[in-house]
Each structure stands twice: as structure tokens, then as C-alpha cells.
Amino acid sequence: MAPVLEKQLPGAADNNNEEEEGQDLWTAILSEVSTTSSSKLPSGKNILLFGEDGSGKTALIAKLQGADHNKRGRGLEYMYLNVHDEDRDDLTRCNVWILDGDLYHKGLLKFAVSAQSLPDSLAVFVADMSRPWTIMESLKKWAGVLRDHVDKLKISPEDMREMEQKMVKAFQEYTEPEDAGPTSPLRRAPTAGEDEAVVLPLGDNTLTHNLGIPVLIVCTKCDAVSTLEKEHDYRDEHFDFIQSHIRQFCLQYGAGLIYTSVKEEKNMDLLYKYIVHKMYEFQFTTAALVVEKDAVFIPSGWDNEKKIGILHENLSTVRPDDSFEDFITKPPVRKLVHEKEINAEDEQVFLMKQQSLLSKQPATPTRGATESPGRTASGSPRPAGRAGQPSTTSSSPMAAVKKPDPNMKAGAANEGVLANFFNSLLSKKTGAPGSPGNVAAGAGVQGSAKKTGQNPGLTDVQAELDRMTRKQDSGVSPNNMPTPAENEA
């Protein structure tokens, strides 16, 4: 056959067989297309998302989709990611299964992953950084749920061992992105003659819980770091302690770690690139990020016990092996006291209630009835003297006005009232402003005015008043003398 082929090759280059050469060209093109089609992006890849309710699982995938998805599913939620390979100009769809935060729905995992689809799956455990006291408990719980489900799948021990060895090899063969060229993949390809025995062995706490599939820990809501510092007095020591425990967990499962924030769009693009790198072996050249406490990124295979020990140097009030729940405690719940709303009642209803209350109350006694009859308003004993004579210690001219006795005759009572009224008027006119006055002082002033030749009309009025006063005094008997309380009134 070889000599025949040697004769055909020069014949193909002959000018007389141009048509046959054109057919060979089309054959080469079709062969190249066939080869390219066989290297298309694989379909049927699955992402299994686990986390507590409210940790941001759905919002995380919706952000990776580039869509606004505010609706949260129930039970087992299905979403997808569009993966585009620009080099091959190919597009595929990656399935995303989001399990509900209630353990009651863990049985629905059988619809998301089976023994056949498990090798093409990526497990993502979501931790809520706004509630750091729940992180370790949540990670252990959901890792246990996935472990139980994998154990229930009918996978042969040989296949399971092969999957576990694949994870160990991927972890050991990790290289720093700086060592890779611009067109080289992240993982180093073993060169000819390279001895695989030079690969460093795993640490004591590395891949002790090998699930056989790649695992990624995503801490969401990392924008809450500033809130934890202000409201709960978190310091760098707290965040280093949290990070060290999460990284210890990642070592046990051979997982990567990334801090994200959908609100601030922090590390979202990096998360997408790392997912498609792990699922479709896309080129990935981002190194580990451990400087910023709210934007940590640690790819699988980079971390070890010594690197985690750097965080322990910053711990002053707590030891690295202390219980996570003892140091990162849940803050006390502040009870919100809602003030009772006060509704004003109708005005007429209020007035009717006040009226009924007033009608039920007993009558209030007058001032004169409560005071002792033998004492004046100032509390001193009343001096003996004429009943009709006003007290010289009264504080105002109106205090000189006498209250008529009801036992007196009507005419005398009327004249007494008029006399007292006019005496008070004269006292106001002749007395000094603001100084206490009485009838006796007023009479003295009026008498002096008469001697100095003041208006005679006033003297006639004064004379008439004096006459009326004498008449009133003569008509008063000891039986009908006014009481001190009445004079005071």
C-alpha cells in the first residue's frame, strides 16, 4: 500500500488533477470541522447550591446570570448559567440546582444529581457573612447532607476511588498563576520525563472529607463587615478567627474560598471565572487574595496549615483552637417596643364624660365655711371693736366692703351696701396706688381735703355717706352682727 500512496501523492499535485486536489481540500476542511465539533463545550454540567434561608443563594446566581431575580423558590429551585467560549465560539448551559434551606427538602437532591451526573457536578456551600455566628454550623450541616446523599448513590467503590484520586491530584498539582504563561492553562501539564513522585504529599488535615467532586465555599453579604464593626464591635481579630476556621474547613474538603457581595458587586466576576475554570477547564490566572478582609479569594490547592498559621499571629484574646461558637457568639436580640397608638376621642363624647364625672362629685365647700370664725384671713385673732369697722390690716380697699347681714331690714341693708360701695370708690381715688386703704384712712384724707377747700360736692357726698353709715350702725344689734367670715368676704 505504501508504494501506491507514494504514487498518488505526486499525482495529486499534477496540474491535470486540479479537481481531485479541490476535493482533498474540502475533505481537510470537513475533517477540521469534525474535529472542532468533538471539542465543543460539554453539556450536562451541574452546580449544587446549599445554604441557609436568606443567605443569598438565589440572588447570587441571578447576579451571575446578569438578571434581576427577586423571586425565591421553594424546595428545589432550578436556574442555569450561560457559558460562552470565545475561542471556540461555542455556547452551552450549566445547570444550577438550589436546595431549600429547610432540611425537610433534602430528599429532593435525587432529582438534581445521580450516580451518572455526580462526576460532572460542583458543590457550592453558601455562608452568610452578615450572620457569622451561623457559618460553621451551616457549613458542617450542608456538607453532611451532601455526604449522606453521595453515600446513598449506587456508585461502585472503584469509580468512587477514581473520583477521589482525581480531586487529590488536582489539589496537589496546583501552581501559582504567576508561573503560568499567558496562553498556558492554570494547571501545569506534566512534561516528558517528569517524575510524579515529586508532588508534595497532602497535609494531615487536607482532603480528609473527600466527596469526589470539587467544592467551593462562597461567603455572601461581605458588605456587612462594616456593620459588624459598628454595631457588634467586631475587630480584625474576629474576622481573622472566622477566616481561619473557614479555611480549615476548606482544607478538609479540598475546597476553594471566595468572599462576595451582590450589593457591592464584589468578586462576582471572579466567582464566575473560577466556576467555569473548575467546570470547563477555562484559563484562570488570578492569584490568591488574602489582604482585604472582605474580599478574600483562595483557590483550591493553594492553602495549607502554615499559611493559615499567619492568621493566628494576630489573635491576642483567643486561641486558634478555641470553639468557634464560644468566641463568635450570637448577639442578644433587641426587643422592639412599639409605642401604643393613641386615638383622640370625639370632643362631644369627652365633654359628656367630664360632665358625668363632675355631677357625681360632692359640692366643694366655700372658703368662709372652712376658716375658723375667730381668726382673720391673715390668721391673727380679730381685735375687739365695732362690728361695722373694717380692719386696718386689709390688703386692698375692697376688703373694707362689708357684707350685709340677711337679718337686717331691707332698707338698712340696701343703704349699707350703697355706703360701702361709695366708700370703696372714695378710697380708690384718695388712697395711694398700690397701698392698702381702709374706710378710716379714706375719711381722714377726705377731712383734710375739706379743710383745704377742695370740691364741696365731695364733702356733701361724704356727709351723706357718714349719715347713712351711722344709721346703719344704729340698726345693728348684737344678734344680727355679721360674722368675721362675712366681713372678710
Q: Whole-angstrom Cα distance, residue 357 to residue 344?
A: 19
Examine the pLDDT at 14 and tell me if it is beyond 70.
no
What was the pLDDT predicted at 341?
A: 76
**12 or 354: which carries more pLDDT confidence?**
354
Average pLDDT, the chain: 76
Instruction: Convert the pLDDT of each residue in 143-185 to its tens digit.
Output: 999 999 999 998 999 999 999 999 999 999 998 886 444 444 4
> Counting every residue, how long is the chain?
489
Phi, psi of 437 (to 5 degrees): -130, 160
Per-residue confidence band for 40, with pLDDT thresholds at 50, 70 and 90: confident
Examine the pLDDT at 44 and tell me if it is beyond 60.
yes
What was the pLDDT predicted at 442?
A: 44
Give Cα separations from 124 to 44, 142, 202, 210, 258 (angstroms): 17, 10, 23, 14, 11
Examine the pLDDT at 51 and tell me if it is beyond 90.
yes
Dihedral angle, C-alpha 377, 383, 386, 390, nearest 10 °: -30
What was the pLDDT predicted at 24?
A: 75
What was the pLDDT predicted at 183?
A: 42
Cell numbers for 478: 348684737
What DSSP line would sit under 244-263, residue for residue? HHHHHHHHHHT-EEEE-BTT
Cell numbers for 73: 423558590
Instruction: Convert the pLDDT of each residue in 236-270 to its tens digit.
Output: 999 999 999 999 999 999 999 999 999 999 999 99
SS (H, E, C) 5-36: HHHHHHHHCCHHHHHHHHHHHHHHHHHHHHHH
In the sheet with 121-128, reading across from the earlier edge strand, the strands are 76-85, 90-99, 46-50, 121-128, 215-220, 256-259, 297-298
Q: Which among 176, 189, 183, 246 is positioned nearest to 215, based on CA atoms?
A: 246
**408 or 344: which carries more pLDDT confidence?**
344
For residue 249, give every residue at least 6 positions away whose Cβ sits within 8 Å of its Cβ, in sequence order, or none. 136, 139, 140, 143, 217, 255
Average pLDDT estimate for 476-486: 49
**462 or 347: which carries more pLDDT confidence?**
347
Give Cα separations from 480 to 368, 371, 420 (angstroms): 18, 20, 18
Question: What SS3 class is residue 71?
Answer: coil
Examine the pLDDT at 110 and tell me if it is beyond 60.
yes
Q: Which among 382, 412, 333, 407 is positioned nearest to 487, based on CA atoms?
A: 382
Q: Please answer whether residues 378 and 441 qualify as being in contact, where contact means their C-beta atoms are separated by less than 8 angstroms.
A: no
Per-residue confidence band for 127, with pLDDT thresholds at 50, 70 and 90: very high
Question: What SS3 class is residue 416?
Answer: helix
Average pLDDT estimate for 404-426: 65
CA 152 to chain centre: 42
Q: What is the pTM of this model?
A: 0.60
Q: Please answer whether residues 371 and 486 qualify as being in contact, where contact means their C-beta atoms are separated by less than 8 angstroms.
A: no
